[in-house]
């Protein structure tokens, strides 16, 4: 009886310790995110508003070019369709590709021993997700109010898909954090090419149904293309998504995150070393 009671106490002690650690980790991530927001705000003339306006301008430029080139208006409002391409794409690229410089960029923060490269990556990703999430919410609410067809269910599905895109970005970011630190040349190559390559292979400009079958199978290797098309499909279930799979998108995102954690766990000390 006494042994069982002791085991019970030990279990609760462990649980309380784990909760304490998780709470501290969450506090650290939130603090880094807030610090990053303050830093970004201090760089621009518009302060915190500038943090949101800057990506809007970037996305608006691309969208204007695409709309001028003649965006298709079937199934979904073209503005919403393009927003659902650009916003997840920029979320992904900001989280994943910027992680290439993550270790060096945040090196000053490791002066506080409690902060690890993982926390810095999570803090940045949390802020980026918040910024693009608010943008997406704003655009969805504006377009659906304009068309008078707001649906809380669609918003819910969009939010879930958006979070999976963020997880996918984080998974890739965790891997690039380590590779970027270990192989600076590879990091440079990725920085110069991958973002452009992904922009044209993630269904940002064109829906998957317009891509010929022989090329579609290659595009469908890219989980981001699945995520973007699923978001459009969520807004209008009649929107055709041949070959797109929710399970592929979900499991590749979670799988990459898992692999990222695995690689990170084995390389954390290396990231904290004085010299790369």
Which residues contribute to the site for other proteins (CB under 8 A)? Answer: 27-28, 30-31, 34-35, 38-39, 42-43, 108-115, 269, 272-274
Instruction: Write down the H helix ranges in the chain.
Output: 2-43, 48-70, 78-96, 102-105, 117-147, 152-182, 184-201, 213-219, 223-235, 246-272
Nearer to other proteins, 72 or 108 (CB): 108
Q: Terminal CA-to-CA distance of the chain, rounded, Å?
A: 55
> Could you tell me the smallest distance in angstroms from the CB atom of residue 181 to other proteins?
14
Cα dist. 94→88, 89, 184, 238 in Å? 10, 8, 18, 31
Burial 61-87 (b: 16+ CB within 10 A, else e): ebbeebeeeeeeeebbbbbbbbbbbbb
Least distance (Å) between residue 36 CB and other proteins: 10
In whole angstroms, what is the distance from residue 260 CA to residue 121 CA?
A: 12
Using the Cα atoms of residue 60, residue 137, residue 248 and residue 103 in order, give the sign of their dihedral. positive
Rounded to a whole number of angstroms, the minimum distance from the CB of residue 15 to other proteins is 20
Given the complex with other proteins, which of 73 and 104 has the nearer CB atom? 104
Report the alpha-carbon distance of residue 97 to residue 224 in Å, rounded: 14
- Write down the least CB distance from residue 115 to other proteins, Å: 7
- Helix H, strand E, coil C: the string for 12-44 is HHHHHHHHHHHHHHHHHHHHHHHHHHHHHHHHC
Closest residue by Cα to residue 110 from 261, 272, 264: 272
> CB-wise, 111 or 148, nearer to other proteins?
111
* Smallest distance, other proteins to C-beta of residue 45, A: 14
Rounded to a whole number of angstroms, the minimum distance from the CB of residue 112 to other proteins is: 5
Q: Give the nearer residue to other proteins in terms of CB position, either 31 or 56.
A: 31
Judged by CB, which is closer to other proteins: 120, or 161?
120
Count CA atoms within 13 Å of residue 206 on its CB side. 11
Q: Smallest distance, Å, CB 134 to other proteins? A: 22
Our CB check for other proteins shows the closer of 41 and 259 to be 41
Comparison of 59 and 177: residue with beta carbon closer to other proteins: 177
- Give min distance, CB of 39 to other proteins, in A: 6
CA–CA dist 181, 218 (Å, integer): 29
Q: Cα separation of 140 and 119, whole Å?
A: 31
Closer of 42 and 73 to other proteins (Cβ): 42
């Amino acid at each position: 009886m006494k042994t069982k009671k002791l085991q019970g106490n030990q279990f609760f002690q462990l649980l309380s310790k784990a909760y304490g650690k998780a709470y501290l980790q969450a506090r650290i991530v939130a603090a880094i995110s807030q610090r990053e927001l303050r830093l970004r705000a201090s760089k621009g003339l518009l302060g915190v508003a500038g943090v949101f306006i800057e990506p809007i301008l970037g996305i608006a430029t691309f969208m204007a070019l695409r709309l001028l080139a003649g965006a298709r208006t079937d199934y979904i409002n073209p503005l919403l369709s393009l927003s659902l391409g650009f916003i997840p794409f920029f979320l992904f690229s900001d989280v994943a590709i910027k992680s290439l410089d993550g270790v060096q960029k945040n090196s000053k923060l490791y002066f506080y021993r409690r902060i690890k490269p993982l926390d810095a990556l999570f803090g940045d990703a949390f802020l980026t997700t918040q910024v693009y999430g608010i943008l997406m919410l704003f655009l969805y609410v504006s377009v659906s109010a304009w068309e008078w067809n707001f649906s809380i269910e669609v918003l819910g599905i969009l939010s879930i898909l958006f979070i999976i895109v963020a997880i996918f970005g984080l998974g890739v970011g965790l891997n690039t954090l380590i590779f970027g630190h270990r192989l600076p040349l590879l990091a440079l190559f990725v920085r110069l090419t991958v973002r452009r390559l992904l922009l044209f292979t993630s269904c940002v400009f064109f829906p998957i149904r317009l891509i010929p079958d022989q090329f579609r199978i290659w595009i469908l290797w890219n989980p981001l293309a699945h995520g973007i098309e699923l978001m459009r499909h969520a807004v209008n279930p009649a929107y055709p998504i041949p070959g797109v799979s929710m399970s592929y998108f979900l499991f590749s995102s979670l799988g990459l995150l898992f692999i990222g954690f695995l690689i990170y766990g084995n390389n954390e000390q290396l990231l904290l070393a004085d010299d790369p």
